[in-house]
């Protein structure tokens, strides 16, 4: 945000607060203004705005919502910029539950697309679900197996043998690691 835009942004924020304080757009404005302050090195001002955005979104959507996760990610980046790595890590960890919820929803949505024979959409959703789950728990998480198995079924149903083999190898390698870790 350019320096001349700051007063305009603050005015827009004041208008939004006056018209409809609980509106989700208010939290978006608060987060954007917080990011601007963080980029200017004004971390105390940024922290106060992040806190307001987060509190508003938690009341509206719950603490584990994607909306709250977006603010946490912004706040984590600001803490990282200040070399507050412990605080940044805690904030990044706080977004994991929202990513897992979204990953499960995407896996379910992909299954619906698959059953409706909308294969390209199903593949996109399965791949996004995998990426989100990996972000939340890493590439060795047992929670990846259901998504991998669904993606494998999709590829097999389309006779995409090379893709199916790659996913099957990944799923089998994950099963073997999990089996070895469990002492089996």
Q: What digits encode the pLDDT tens for the residues 52-81?
A: 999 988 888 888 777 888 888 889 889 888
**Residues 29-42 pLDDT 10s:** 888 889 888 988 88
pLDDT score, position 20: 63
Residue pair 150/111 in contact (Cβ under 8 Å)? The answer is yes
- Average of per-residue pLDDT values in the chain: 86
- Give CA–CA dist 120/99, Å, rounded: 22
- Give CA–CA dist 21/36, Å, rounded: 21
Note if the pTM is more than 0.85: no
Could you give the percent of the chain with pLDDT greater than 90?
33
pLDDT score, position 22: 62
pLDDT score, position 25: 80
Check pLDDT > 70 for residue 23: no
- Give CA–CA dist 171/166, Å, rounded: 9
Joined together, the tokens standing for residue 162 give 């090379």
- Give CA–CA dist 88/50, Å, rounded: 13
3 state SS of 2: coil
Radius of gyration of the chain (CA): 21
Torsion of CA 11, 12, 18, 23, to 10 degrees: -150
Check pLDDT > 70 for residue 106: yes
**Residues 165-182 pLDDT 10s:** 999 999 999 999 988 887
Residue pair 164/156 in contact (Cβ under 8 Å)? The answer is yes
């Amino acid at each position: 945000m350019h320096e001349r835009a700051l007063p305009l942004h603050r005015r827009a924020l004041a208008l939004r607060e006056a018209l409809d304080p609980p509106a989700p757009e208010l939290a978006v404005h608060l987060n954007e203004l917080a990011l601007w302050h963080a980029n200017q090195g004004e971390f105390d001002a940024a922290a106060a705005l992040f806190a307001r955005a987060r509190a508003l979104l938690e009341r509206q959507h719950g603490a584990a919502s994607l909306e709250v996760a977006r603010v946490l990610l912004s706040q984590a980046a600001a803490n990282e910029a200040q070399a507050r790595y412990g605080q940044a890590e805690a904030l990044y960890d706080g977004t994991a539950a929202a990513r897992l919820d979204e990953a499960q929803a995407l896996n379910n949505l992909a299954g619906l697309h698959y059953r409706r024979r909308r294969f390209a959409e199903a593949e996109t959703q399965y791949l996004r679900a995998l990426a989100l789950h990996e972000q939340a728990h890493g590439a060795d998480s047992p929670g990846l197996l259901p998504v991998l198995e669904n993606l494998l079924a999709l590829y097999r149903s389309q006779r995409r043998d090379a893709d199916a083999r790659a996913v099957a190898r990944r799923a089998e390698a994950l099963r073997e690691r999990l089996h070895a870790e469990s002492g089996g």
